Amino acid sequence: GVWDNLVAASEVRFSRKGTDDTIIPMGKAGKPWSNPDTFRETVGSAITTSTNMGTSDALYFANRLLVFNTSCDARRNGQWDGVPWRDYVGAGKRSNEFRMLLSRTLTTLLVAAKDDKASTRTIGNMGEQFLGNPLETGNDGPLDRLLNGATNEAWIDPWVNRLRELGVTFVNAEIRGLELDGARISGARVVDSSGAAQTVEADHFVSALPVEVARTLWTPEILSLRPELAGMSQLTVDWMSGIQFFLRRRTDIARGHVAYVDSPWSLTSIAQGQFWNRTPVTGLGDGSIQDCLSVDISDWNTPGMLYGKPAKECTHEEIARETWAQLGAHLNDRGELLSQDDLHSWFLDTGIAWDASQKRNTNADPLLINTAGSLALRPYSHADSLQNLYLAGDYVRTNVDLATMEGASESARAAVNKLLEVTGSDAPRCQVFTLYRAPELEPFRQLDIARFAAGQPNMFDV
């Protein structure tokens, strides 16, 4: 399965311009949450020793994590979801190092979200996993894992083959609308690859479309049955797309992810060659390729350093040159880690298309951003008022409250379970998981239920 094709990254690197980089090992350590004081001291000292941050800022941030980790669900949903992450951590009153690392970079690493818009509930939930629990406790292995080969070969193609073995037929078509018969979807209007239009009839329909596509299908008649779907029109999407640099020499940047803290385009990268034992990089292309540096561009709206333009307004060639320059400005200020002579070629995400008439790019694959207050706008997978429609996608309400494949997978499991329930099937249900929460802090979360109901702050929120 896909899980078996995952391999662990042993470190993460925070690269800075003009100063020493920080490399943090990823692995097991002692428990920081045996009590609140230990939590604050352990997390605070870890931040202080691994960054250039002062003790006061580090301990303050550790306390903000403690506040969230000891908050009950009602407070997370009713209070923290409506607060932007930057306001929650008080970034405006802290040091520049604090703002760059714990406000801006943290949200960039998790999702292409700006810290002044991202929901504290979302970032806090993920922070509870990534910062409060990097110890392989309550999960099924190392914190940071990657596929051992190209995504199609290690994931997509095996699944397609398996589904075909089970009798699934794949049809290439574009959906144009849904037809309604009472409280049921009776058909889907599609246009196939030849341009022919037809209506596909079925007993049940699962929409596994991204939010910006799915919401175009909700007619007034559908919304009258499921009015909560109207909130999807207010959900925010943004750009987080990748570019791959194929290199003639193996890189030695990091044995894991790299965050380029000062990069205008909020870059992160991973050198794939060290992880690809299933489909080695050296077997690709003309035979001279030795590594693939895969880079995510998370900020497409801030002007770059070479051309003074945001990525949205750069040609594909300019995007490649600008991204390469920003990487070099971080990695080559203490010696050359990235050489122009090693660059063989590059490949930009095919979802990015240049519109010559508008002199800017379009993006066919934007990413859902969980902005402050957006939880109330997100629907559940199914509602009895529209009997045979099931929603699957990272915008559906899930325990994994983030635009990730884990969140999409959980929503699909929920859709399948609902379909089995509606049809009265006795087939086994899909397993659904919850995120880990330190049991040592559960008594404080229980106390917080009464405090929140009484309008009082979390007991550590001082």
User: pLDDT, tens digit, for every residue of 308-324?
Assistant: 999 999 999 999 999 99
Three-state secondary-structure class, residue 236: strand
Task: Identify which of 22-36, 49-63, 254-268 has the greatest average pLDDT.
Answer: 254-268
Closest CA to 331 of 391, 265, 388, 252: 252
- Specify the pLDDT at position 144: 83
- Specify the pLDDT at position 177: 96
- Identify the residue with better confidence: 3 or 444: 444
d(CA 386, CA 151): 35
CB-CB contact of 31 with 425 (8 Å): no
Q: How many CB atoms lie within 10 A of CB 426?
A: 5
Indicate yes or no: pTM above 0.85.
Answer: yes
Confidence of residue 436 (pLDDT cuts 50, 70, 90): confident
Residue 29 scores a pLDDT above 70? no
Residue 162 scores a pLDDT above 70? yes
Domains and CATH numbers, the chain: 31-139+438-453 (no CATH), 171-237+368-422 (3.50.50.60), 238-363 (3.30.9)
Residue 23 scores a pLDDT above 90? no
Closest CA to 88 of 98, 4, 13, 233: 98
Closest CA to 169 of 192, 136, 138: 192
- Identify the residue with better confidence: 106 or 374: 374
Exposure class string for 353-390: b at 16+ Cβ within 10 A, else e? ebeeeeebbebeebbbbbbbebbebbbbbbbeebebbb
Structure letter (DSSP) for residue 223: H
- Specify the pLDDT at position 131: 62
d(CA 386, CA 68): 36
Three-state secondary-structure class, residue 100: helix
d(CA 183, CA 180): 7
Give the DSSP H/E element, type plus range, for residue 347: strand 343-348
Burial of 257 from C-beta contacts in 10 A (0-12 / 13-18 / 19+): buried
- Specify the pLDDT at position 352: 97
Lowest mean pLDDT of 12-16, 98-102, 257-261, 300-304, name the range.
98-102
Confidence of residue 42 (pLDDT cuts 50, 70, 90): low
Sequence-ordered list of residues with C-beta below 8 angstroms from that of 183, at least 6 positions apart, any chain = 225, 385, 386, 387
- Specify the pLDDT at position 102: 67
Average of per-residue pLDDT across 271-300 = 91
d(CA 209, CA 264): 31
Average of per-residue pLDDT across 71-96 = 90
Three-state secondary-structure class, residue 322: helix
- Identify the residue with better confidence: 102 or 262: 262
- Specify the pLDDT at position 49: 54
- Specify the pLDDT at position 12: 84
Closest CA to 6 of 308, 276, 359, 364: 276
Residue 140 scores a pLDDT above 90? no
Residue 383 scores a pLDDT above 90? yes
Q: Determine the Cα angle at 454 with ends 372 and 445, to 5°.
A: 65
- Identify the residue with better confidence: 28 or 455: 455
% of the chain residues with pLDDT over 70: 90
